[in-house]
Amino acid sequence: MAKAIHSMIRVLDEARAVDFYDRAFGLKVDTRLDFPAFTLVYLRNAESDFELELTINKDRTEPYDLGDGYGHLAVSVDDLEAEHARLTELGFGPRKLVDFVPGGEVIARFFFIADPDGYQIEVLQRQGRFH
């Protein structure tokens, strides 16, 4: 059986991305591998073994075109309203809180936020299948 271990995104500014993921989600640099043409930075926190890999191509000066294939990363939190307020206070501009209620039953509570490179992150209330 395969085990999911990380997801990779390309970012333009390493310091800006590391700061965002640290302050927004408590993801800290676990490993940093520097090569002549690029740097790989692996972020993680105590909640999960899953890592976010940031790839920084050193010759890149223009923002990446995310295209129409990327969807989002997702994280779950214990207190959705408190996280929304905290991220708002940090100036990260999370979008509105949403109750997903198809058929009258709350399936999920969430909001989206974009990182400095435009990648979308879904922040879900830790409940049900999103525990």
Within 13 Å and on the Cβ side, how many CA atoms surround 56?
17
Question: What is d(CA 27, CA 36) in angstroms, rounded to the nearest whole number?
Answer: 25
Q: Choosing from 51, 53, 62, 122, which is the catalytic residue?
A: 122
Is 122 a catalytic site residue? yes
Contact 22, 122 (CB under 8 A): no
* Selection from 80, 65, 10 nearest residue 41 by Cα: 10
* Selection from 75, 86, 88 nearest residue 124 by Cα: 75
* Selection from 119, 121, 122, 3 nearest residue 55 by Cα: 119
Active-site annotation, residues: 122
